[in-house]
Structure 1
Amino acid sequence: MPAPETSRPAAFLDRDGVLNVDREYVHRADQLTWIDGVPEAIRLLNDAGFLVIVVTNQSGVARGFYDEAAVAALHAHMRGYLAARGAHIDAFYYCPHHPDGKVAAYTMRCDCRKPGTGMFEQAARDWPIDRARSFMIGDKDIDIAAATAFGIRGAQFNATTDKLPDLVRRMITAD
């Protein structure tokens, strides 16, 4: 459901490697291991007035490992977990495509797959985003490339050396 018409900055977050440990093709709640500090980091963003938008490549759909219903169920589980801890994600966007997929309907090149900007563009159509104050946190070069192509700041996150709440604080105050 769209936000009010007043534009707000958005914090775009990659999912696997930023919110949860990146074990290839995570698609069930029992496979999910949260990165330390995620609820705190998202609460910081919520309290600072940022839209929190997850943008994630999910090629497992195209590869036939799971379907879009599994993606939706995992995202609903993530929302419930965060809500119980006083944090919320405003929207999830995902790309189910991959040019080397096995499921014909999803086997393609597309603009939504990062480093493309399709998920960001869709979010900008759905939400009144203040791009000048928005940023992306991702764990891969393609995340930063997508942020740059969309015209926002990007920060690379490494779960083994960085603390997500600390990075979020730096990004919020870097305005």
Structure 2
Amino acid sequence: MLSAEKLVILDRDGVINHDSDNYIKSLDEWLPYPSAITAISRLYRAGYTVAIATNQSGIARGYYDETTLQAMHDRLIALVEAQGGRIAHIAYCPHGPDDKCQCRKPLPGMLLSIQRQLGLESLTGSWMVGDSLRDLQAGEAVGCNTALVRTGKGLKTERKGAGLEKARVFDDLAQFVEWLIK
């Protein structure tokens, strides 16, 4: 039986792969951090369940479609599995910021979806790892511990400082994983 304490939820862009202010619109633009792929595999091998919660408003904006997004996620899954890891679930929000959905971070809808999908009673004690304040806010709303990584938009988020009081800060996902499994 999975326990919330053994669940790590990751943001995608800026945590697992390079981010872009122009959106990641194709498989060619989806460039993973090699250390992040290794880190996900290490988490799994250490007994953690890994899920992903990612805002993908580029779909609503017409920059790419769900087939393209699935191709990116298929590549991610294949890379992680090639290193002996596993991703339990990927939740994404295809909506734009003005669509008034309940899934777009900082709202916790995607995290609650992950909770249901994995059959957990709560997410209290699990981890939400992101590179933006909205990632951390979504995690805090459902009782997650939070970690900010300095990759992607993380350094800019750290410099702003507001809202980071409860978060641990790490250079990247690999450093977080090293700390967590020790």
Pairing 1:39-58 to 2, within 5 Å after superposition = 39-58=37-56
* Contact 2:77-2:86 at 8 Å conserved across structures: yes
Aligned residues: 161
**Counterpart code for 1:144:** L
Match for 2:115: what amino acid? A
Hey, what's the Cα distance between the residues in 1 that align with 2:107 and 2:145?
A: 15
Within 5 A, what are the aligned runs for 1:41-80? Answer: 41-80=39-78
- Name the stretch that deviates more: 133-142 or 156-165: 156-165
Per the TM alignment, residue 172 of structure 1 is displaced from its structure 2 partner at its CA by 4.2
String of CA shifts for 1:106-132, please: whole Å, max 9, x gaps. xx1111000011111111111033634
Using structure 1 for the length normalisation, give the TM-score.
0.84
Farther off after superposition, 41-50 or 124-133: 124-133
Task: Output the CA distance in 2 between the equivalents of 1:172 and 1:139.
Answer: 20
1:123 aligns with 2:121: no
TM-score normalised over the length of structure 2: 0.81
Identity %: 37
Rounded to whole Å, the distance in 2 between the matches of 1:67 and 1:80 is 20
Q: Whose relative contact order is higher, 1 or 2, with alpha carbons under 8 Å and at least 6 apart?
A: 1
* 4+ runs deviating over 6 angstroms: none
The RMSD of aligned alpha carbons is 1.8
Alignment-derived partner of residue 104 in structure 1: none
CA distance in 1, matches of 2:82, 2:173: 19
d(CA) in 2 for partners of 1:170 and 1:158? 15
